[in-house]
Amino acid sequence: MGRLAWIASALALTLGFGCAAGDAPPGRADAGDGAVTVTDSGFDAGRADSGVDGGPVEEVGLCEACVVHPQCGSLGRCVPLTDGEFACAAICNPDIPSCPRGFECVVRPASPDFPVCVPVGERCCVDQDADGYGRGVGCDGADCDDEDIDVNPGALELCNGGDDDCD
């Protein structure tokens, strides 16, 4: 095959698939930077994979919604919750518990090589003062003062010189 024909064939294949450099066509295993979308088990289903199709991802915290593992940083994994949502879970060591209050270190089928901190119960919410407000997909909302149970967006505003309802 002549050089010009080879270049034309390579160009046609690349343009025909419409994939980013180093990425696979839909339904084929990714060949890029190792980023894997949680919902497609390592196969490109036409969605943007971090660092390849869509560029760098924005990291989120424990219990916050995620789509790909890199969103959870190097010490977290994007895991499915019981309600079908995906959220970041911290990687942990079952022999040395380091999970936040209300979480336990378990091995999940979605990430068998990485034990992760998951909520005890149904809600994935990092809530230091146990008022239902904090950080995560299972919280009632964000908490402006996670050290005080009486200060949150659902609290009544009192005439005490403080902002009790986070407005």
State the amino acid at position 3 in one-letter form.
Answer: R
Among candidate residues 57, 44, 51, the one with its CA nearest the CA of residue 18: 44
Question: pLDDT digit of tens for each residue in the chain (167 aa)?
Answer: 444 443 444 433 334 444 444 444 444 444 444 444 444 444 444 444 444 555 677 788 889 999 999 999 988 999 888 778 899 999 999 888 788 888 899 987 766 788 999 888 768 888 889 899 998 888 999 999 999 999 999 999 999 988 999 98
Task: For residue 100, give both structure tokens.
Answer: 């936040």
- Using a cut of 0.85, tell me whether the model's pTM lies above it: no
Task: Give the span between the Cα atoms of 154 and 152, in whole angstroms.
Answer: 5
Backbone dihedral region for residue 22 (phi beyond 0: left; psi -120 to 50: alpha; all else: beta) = left
Q: What pairs with residue 135 in β-bridges?
A: 126
What ranges do the domains of the chain cover? 1-56, 59-154
